[in-house]
Chains A and B, each alone.
Chain A
Amino acid sequence: MKHFTKLAAAAALGTVLGTAAVAQELYTPNLAYRTGPFAATGIPLMNGQADYMTLLNERDGGIGGAKIDFEECETGYSTEKGVECYEKTKGKAIVTQPWSTGITLQVLPKTNVDQIPILAPGYGFSPMADGKVFQWAFNVPSGYWDAADMIVQYLEQDGSLEGKKIAFLHLDHPYGKEPLPLLEKLAGEKGFELLPIPVGLKEMQNQSAQWLQIRRERPDNVVMWGWGAMNAGAITEAVKTKYPMENFIGVWWAGHDADLKLVGDDGKGYKSISWSFPNPDAPVMKELKERVFDAGLSQSNAEEMQGVFYGRGVVMSMILSEAIQGAQKNFGTAEIDASQLRWGLENLNITEERLAELGMAGMVPPFSTSCANHTGHSGGWMLEWDGSKFVKASDLLTPNTAGYSDLIGSAASEYATANAPWAVNEECSATN
Chain B
Amino acid sequence: MRSRRPRRRLSNAGLGLVALAVAIIVASATLAPVAFAAPTPQASAWANIERTARGQTVSLWMWGGDPQGNAYVDNVLTAAAAKLGVTLARVPIADTKDALNRVLAEHQAGRTDGSVDLIWVNGDNFRTGVQAGIWKCGWADALPNIAYTAPGDPLLASDFGTPVRGCESPWHKAQFTFAYNAARVANPPTTMPALMTWVREHPGRFTYPAPPDFTGSVFMREALYATSGGYANVPASFTQSAYDRLTPALWTTLKRLRPALWRAGQTYPKDSTQLDQLFASGQVDFTMTYGPATLTALVAKGTFPRTTKVLTLKEGTVGNASFLAIPTTSAHFAAAQVVANLALSPEQQAIKADPRAWGQFTVLDVKHLPPAQAQAFANLPKSNVVPTYPVLARHANPELSASWIPKLDDGWRRQVLTGGE
Whether chains A and B associate is: no
Residues of B within 8 A of A (CB): none
Residues of A within 8 A of B (CB): none
